């Protein structure tokens, strides 16, 4: 059979692909149209569920090059030797819109990086903002419902967004960022990325450090006003990224970390595990550790970007989680979402498959044995005749076994422990939002207030009053400007 012969999905040559098998010119079709049935049946199954959040995204491959050894802080193999390059896949996204929504929504941008290290994949699933709207995951579904489309009209409803924020002062810091001039990035290349959460490093001596990751755009920050954004083509950000990589204009980010010794978490002025707060750069300066560059577009959007599956639980030896409550829920939520959205063998799909050997006793499930990169030849055959339980008597013959050298130091309990619902209602959610406001120029303050009032003016008087109270607690001028603009 010639290489160019069209085939069925089972590889048989197809002799006709324009006309179905019919009973005469004017008659019905017959049951031996199995090729037609195959086409229609596959077409019916072309979609997988879109991500429940961050559905609209754009991904590309690249590399992370280490410029400073972190061996004092972490045993992570890709953080030891300056000059080492690690392949990465980065998926940018908006949060609230569906797959075909606009690239230019006023919305945080997802910034999810998969580092394919030689000791497994490390996923940093962050945003273009250093903080988030919430510090307790129990609010996440309510928050997302309030920000997405109205259940009756299927239209965005700014009044409901503000209704959520009016009841949750913890959102004020992130909301101030979102409504500021930084709220709509000009392109995916012109924004910073953040791990946002506090993660940890641990070193050979078993010492743990709390860590925040920052990716500073080398292209410079560029943003759009509301008026400019509505004039952009809905797919413009995706086009911008694909075209700049295609023409060799590779975007890059300078990678920095803030590091806090473990014990300082007990006494630091803010709770370092509260995702609504930043750490002052004066207290914990940014340490430059390398460069991240994107230099290769995907060949197939669905296979790679759509099926890419990032999980905050994808950690490697030397990098750990932290007591951040939001992070802990995310350690569960993402793998659960992947099993629903992509399937149990999601990590065998090439974009997700580690670039190092994968050796375990998990077997079977839909599409087991997909990926040659996943554990070499064995994975293409569901790990073949290899034994499928542990412990077993073949370990000395090379069957996989746990290796105690990768034991992480125990996560410390930082206060007198008790178990019960925590109460953060008297937390200070206002100082950092006020600090940010006071850093803005007069023009930036005007933009912020006008962006807020655009949506807040549609909310009830009670929501408006509670929001103004929050702005005033952050900064009296912030409150009075919003209040006057609402009256006007």
Binding site for ligand HEM (CB under 6 A): 51-54, 57, 91, 93, 110, 112, 125-127, 132, 137, 140, 196, 275, 308-310, 326, 329-330, 333-334, 337-338, 341
For helices 172-179 and 442-456, the axis angle rounded to 10 degrees is 110
- 215/310 with CB nearer ligand HEM: 310
In the complex, least distance from residue 200 CB atom to ligand HEM, rounded to whole angstroms: 16
Please tell me which residue in 19, 44, 54, 168 is annotated as part of the active site.
54
Closest CA to 292 of 126, 451, 429: 126
Shortest distance, position 141 Cβ to ligand HEM, whole Å: 8
Distance CA 438, CA 174 (A): 15
Question: For residues 86 and 276, which CB has a smaller minimum distance to ligand HEM in the complex?
Answer: 276
258 vs 383, beta carbon nearer ligand HEM:
258
Q: How many CB atoms lie within 10 A of CB 419?
A: 5
Query: Please, which residue, 198 or 382, has the CB nearer to ligand HEM?
Result: 198
Whichever of 185 and 317 has its CB closer to ligand HEM, that residue is 185
Q: Pick the closer one to ligand HEM by CB: 126 or 455.
A: 126
Q: Which is nearer to ligand HEM, 58 or 464 (CB)?
A: 58
Q: Work out how close the CB of 165 gets to ligand HEM at its nearest, in angstroms, rounded to a whole number.
A: 16
DSSP secondary structure code for residue 150 in this structure: -
CB of 307 to ligand HEM, least distance (A): 9
Pick the closer one to ligand HEM by CB: 75 or 95. Answer: 95
**What residues contact residue 112 under an 8 Å CB cut-off, 6+ apart?**
54, 90, 91, 92, 93, 123, 124, 125, 126, 308, 310
Q: Which residues of 194-225 are buried (b: 16+ CB within 10 A; e: fewer)?
A: bbbbbbbbbbeeeebbbbbbbbbbebeeebbe
To ligand HEM, the closest distance from the beta carbon of 411 in angstroms equals: 19
Any idea what the Cα angle at residue 351 is, between residues 133 and 45, rounded to 5°? Answer: 90
Tell me how far apart the alpha carbons of residues 9 and 15 are, in angstroms, rounded to a whole number: 14
- Active-site residue among 127, 297, 347, 451? 127
Closest approach of ligand HEM to the CB of residue 239, in Å: 18
Minimum Å gap between C-beta 408 and ligand HEM is 22
Helix, strand, or coil here: 59?
strand
Neighbours of 55 (CB within 10 A): 18
For the bound state, the minimum distance from the C-beta of residue 338 to ligand HEM, rounded and expressed in Å, comes to 6
Q: Give Cβ neighbours of residue 128 (< 8 Å, ≥ 6 apart).
A: 108, 109, 110, 111, 185, 191, 192, 193, 194
Q: What are phi and psi of 210, to 5 degrees?
A: -90, 140
| The dihedral sign for the CA sequence 229, 231, 235, 241 | negative
Nearest to ligand HEM of 51, 168 (CB atom): 51
455 three-class SS: helix
Respond yes or no: is residue 127 known to be catalytic: yes
Cβ contacts of 298 within 8 Å, gap of 6 or more: 59, 60, 61, 304, 305, 351
Cα–Cα distance measured from residue 123 to residue 321, given in angstroms and rounded to the nearest whole number: 12
CB of 92 to ligand HEM, least distance (A): 7
| Euclidean distance between CA atoms 103 and 385, whole angstroms | 48
The CA distance from 459 to 164, in Å, is: 11
**72 Cβ contact partners less than 8 Å away, ≥ 6 residues apart:** 203
The 10 Å Cβ neighbour count of residue 388 is 14
Distance CA 386, CA 378 (A): 8
Cβ-proximal residue to ligand HEM, closest one: 110
Catalytic positions, written as ranges? 54, 127
């Amino acid at each position: 059979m010639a290489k160019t012969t069209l085939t069925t999905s089972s590889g048989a040559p197809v002799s006709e692909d324009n006309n179905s098998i019919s009973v005469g010119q004017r008659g019905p079709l017959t049951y031996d149209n199995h090729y037609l049935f195959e086409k229609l049946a596959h077409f019916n199954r072309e979609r997988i569920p879109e991500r429940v959040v961050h559905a609209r995204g754009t991904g590309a491959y690249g590399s992370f090059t280490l410029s400073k050894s972190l061996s004092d802080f972490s045993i992570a193999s890709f953080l030891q030797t300056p000059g080492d390059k690690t392949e990465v896949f980065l998926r940018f996204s908006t949060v609230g819109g569906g797959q075909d929504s606009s690239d230019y929504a006023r919305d945080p941008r997802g910034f999810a990086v998969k580092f394919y290290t030689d000791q497994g994949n490390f996923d940093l699933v962050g945003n273009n903002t250093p903080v988030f709207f919430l510090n307790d995951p129990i609010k996440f579904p309510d928050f997302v419902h309030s920000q997405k489309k109205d259940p009756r009209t299927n239209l965005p409803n700014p009044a409901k967004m503000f209704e959520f924020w009016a009841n949750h002062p913890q959102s004020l810091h992130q909301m101030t960022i979102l409504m500021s001039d930084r709220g709509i990035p000009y392109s995916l290349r012109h924004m910073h990325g953040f791990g946002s959460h506090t993660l940890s490093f641990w070193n050979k001596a078993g010492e743990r450090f709390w860590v925040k990751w920052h990716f500073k755009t080398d292209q410079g920050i560029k943003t759009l006003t509301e008026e400019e954004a509505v004039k952009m083509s809905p797919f413009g950000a995706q086009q911008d990224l694909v075209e700049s990589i295609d023409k060799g204009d590779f975007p890059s980010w300078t990678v920095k970390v803030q590091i806090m010794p473990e014990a300082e978490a007990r006494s630091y002025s803010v709770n370092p595990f509260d995702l609504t707060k930043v750490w002052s750069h004066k207290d914990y300066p940014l340490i430059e550790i390398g460069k991240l560059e994107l230099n290769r577009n995907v060949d197939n959007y669905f296979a790679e970007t759509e099926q890419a599956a990032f999980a905050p639980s994808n950690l490697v030896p030397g990098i750990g989680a932290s007591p951040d409550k939001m992070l802990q829920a995310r350690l569960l939520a993402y793998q659960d979402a992947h099993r629903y959205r992509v399937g149990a063998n999601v990590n065998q799909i090439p974009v997700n498959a580690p670039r190092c050997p994968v050796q375990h006793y998990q077997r079977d499930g839909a599409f087991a044995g997909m990926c040659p990169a996943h554990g070499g030849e064995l994975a293409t055959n569901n790990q073949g005749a290899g034994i499928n339980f542990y412990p077993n008597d073949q370990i000395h013959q090379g069957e996989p076994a746990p290796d105690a050298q990768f034991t992480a130091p125990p996560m410390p309990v930082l206060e007198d422990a008790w178990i019960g619902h925590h109460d953060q209602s008297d937390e200070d959610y206002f100082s950092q939002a006020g600090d940010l406001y006071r850093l803005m120029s007069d023009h930036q303050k005007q933009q912020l207030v006008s962006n807020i009032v655009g949506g807040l003016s549609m909310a009830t008087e009670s929501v408006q009053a509670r929001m103004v109270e929050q702005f005033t607690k952050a900064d009296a001028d912030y409150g009075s400007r919003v209040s006057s603009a609402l009256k006007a």
